[in-house]
Structure 1
Amino acid sequence: MDSQDLRGKRRLPEGQYLTTKWPVLHAGTVPRFDAKTWDLHLFGEIEQECRFRFEEVMELPRVTYRCDIHCVTTWSRYDNVWEGVSLAAILERVKPNQRARFVTAHCEQGFTTNLPLEELMKPGVMLALKHDGAPLTPEHGYPLRLMVPHLYFWKSAKWVRGLEFTENDRAGFWEERGYHMLGDPWVTDEQNPDGQRFRDDPLWFGSDDPAAYEQWRKEIEQKRREVLSL
């Protein structure tokens, strides 16, 4: 029987497959890292725009957090231990103003993902530097990835280079291609009592184009098979 999380729900969301491996899935190639030129840019609706050099990020106070991760391609992995810089500490330094309601994470190669600011204030959200006691590998986001433990894993964007604070929500890379703007793996428990996967509904997909939805479902199934073959 699946263990229960603190909210009394199944630990493994309906339709997910448990793995002890950590599949590598991303769009594009793995970027090269140069500590001499790398920085983290925080800008937009904040009182103090700033850039952190890599050595400055490494000097910020660290936090650790244990959580399960759930990928929209249907794999889940239990008991991941993350270490990194607390987003709460970053927010305290840059001080979002009253207009700031959303955040866009800007990553290498133009990748973006969007989140409500309030989601970044929840427990465990960080800019991760380590996973299970070891530095992140390039394939998993080294040197820095956003970690949002309570949402689908695509929201934990790899290779973060900037956080833009905005008044209005703007769809990111996958969200523009139909993924849900929030991506809560547990939304089915609250809104779909018959147990059907909410993400399998075109309303979750975010598009009313049947052809686009079917293509997306085929891609998800292909990725699921790849994960299960690992």
Structure 2
Amino acid sequence: MQLTRKQFLKSLLADFALLALAPLKALANMKPRILQTRRETLPVTPVPEFYVEDISGPPKAEVMRSPDWRLKIHGRLSQPLSLSLDEIRAMPSVRQAITLSCIGNPVGGRALGNAYWQGVPLSTLLRKADPDFFSNRLILRADDGYHESVPLKKGFHPGAMIAYSMNDQPLTPDHGMPVRLLIPGLYGIKQVKWLREIEISRGSYQGYWQKKGWTQQARVHIFSRIDFPQNEDALPLRSTEIKGIAFAGDRGIQYVQVSTDGERTWFLAEIEKPLSPYSWVFWSYRWTPHSRGEFDISVRAADQYSGRQENGSRDPFPSGVDGVHRIRVEIL
């Protein structure tokens, strides 16, 4: 779809307006802390710069560090489990790069990060527990009072794990000490931190954010972002490398396209190999402007299943954004 200059500007203004109006809606309750201040995005996000979202802060230290802490798995199963952290760490583990994104992340936002996580495959624990034939849901409860649920089949996702390490260090209090859930392809609202209990159940269940109107599915939408240049940057009249990231949960990125003329024409960007099937990709496009003035730059991406970003939702509530990221720059 080609945008007029007026429509392009209206879109930019709408993004700012959504952020301003968000406190009037359920988005007011979702306020991820964005700790990354650098303009350059690194392949692996340092832990101190990884975004943080929770409902009330970490549990008390004596809860997270208690020698009596156990992860309990119970419900509709043959073998209830009660595991200490040492028992979990002693099991065969996997180490995987996984990108996490907050469902409240706006178009072009920074409430996402990529890290190397290590933990026990959730499927290992579920097979030990042996859910009964009629069970279909995992109810997840955390030490901070947070609760969520996912379909049982998501627990058998090849990338799903009970993680205890982030970037080769034990989980910090902000990121789920002592263990957290990770399921590629879902937004952060399903990635329960400070996990203490998994109940294997049947039927539906409304988690913390669903009771506030947010989606039950929480499937990650295709997301792409321009990291350089940034909106309202002034650039010299010469070749410039436009670059950024793209992410589509566990569906991978098939291609990224860039427009420098208000979305009249699109050109393929170069894509770097991702660190894993579940991590973001870096893209770049070499642009040589031939005149001075203002230029409207956009980026869009497609996943490996040929789903593509269009002019979709620019409001995170209730199921996340999938709108095209747009900026305006001036060539001097």
Fold similarity call, TM over 0.5: yes
Query: Cα offset for 1:160?
Result: 0.3
Aligned twin of 1:49: 80
Q: Which residue of 2 aligns with 1:80?
A: 115
Looking at structure 1, the residues matched to 307 and 315 of structure 2 have their Cα atoms a distance apart, in angstroms, of 11
Q: Larger deviation: 115-124 or 158-167?
A: 115-124
TM-score by length of 2: 0.52
Q: Which residue of 2 aligns with 1:70?
A: 101
Post-superposition shift, 1:130?
0.8
Moved more, 171-180 or 158-167: 171-180
Deviation at 1:199, TM superposition (A): 6.3
Please state how far the C-alpha of 1:135 moved relative to its aligned partner: 1.1
Unpaired segments of 5 or more residues in structure 1?
Answer: 1-14, 206-216, 218-230
Structure 1 residue 23, shift from structure 2 partner: 1.6
Matched, 1:37 2:68: yes
Equivalents in 1 of 2:309, 2:102: separation in Å?
A: 22
Structure (1/2) with the larger helix percentage: 1
Q: Which of 172, 185, 201 is the matching residue for 1:137?
A: 172
Structure 1 counterpart of 2:216: 181
Superposition deviation, residue 67 in structure 1 = 2.1
Task: Tell which deviates more after alignment, 90-99 or 187-196.
Answer: 187-196
Mapped pair 1:124 → 2:149: no
Would you say the 8 A contact 2:101–2:112 is kept in 1?
yes
| CA–CA separation in structure 2 for the residues paired with 1:78 and 1:130 | 15
Structure in which a larger fraction of residues adopt strand: 2
Name 1:99's counterpart in structure 2. Answer: 134
Contact 2:162 2:180 in 1 (8 A): yes
Identity over aligned residues, as a percent? 24
Change (3 A) 1:119 1:187: farther
Higher RCO (Cα < 8 Å, 6 or more apart): 1
The count of corresponding residues between Structure 1 and Structure 2 is: 190
Compute the displacement of 1:185 (Å): 1.5
Which stretch shifts more, 63-72 or 87-96? 63-72
Alpha-carbon distance in 2 for matches of 1:36, 1:78: 31
Offset, 1:39? 0.6
Kept after mapping to 2: 8 A contact 1:68/1:76: no
Which secondary structure state, in structure 1, belongs to the residue aligned with residue 144 of structure 2?
helix
Q: In the TM superposition, what whole-angstrom CA distance separates every residue of 1:3-40 from its partner, at most 9, and x where no partner exists?
A: xxxxxxxxxxxx9x996431222111311223322111
Q: AA paired with 1:195? A: N
Q: CA deviation at 1:82?
A: 0.8
Matched, 1:196 2:227: no
**Partner AA of 1:122 in structure 2:** H
RMSD (Å), alpha carbons? 2.8
Distance in 2 separating the partners of 1:165 and 1:87? 13
How big is each residue's C-alpha offset from its partner over 1:42-74, in whole Å with a ceiling of 9 and x where there is no partner? 011111112112221221211111122211121
> Corresponding residue for 1:170?
205
**Gaps spanning 5+ residues in structure 2: where?**
1-14, 16-33, 224-301, 322-332
TM-score (norm 1): 0.73
AA of the residue aligned to 2:154: E
Secondary structure at the residue paired with 2:140? Answer: strand
Letter in 1 for 2:151: P
CA distance in 1 between counterparts of 2:151 and 2:86 reads 28
- One-letter amino acid of the counterpart of residue 118, structure 1: K
Q: CA–CA distance in 2 between the matches of 1:198 and 1:48?
A: 45
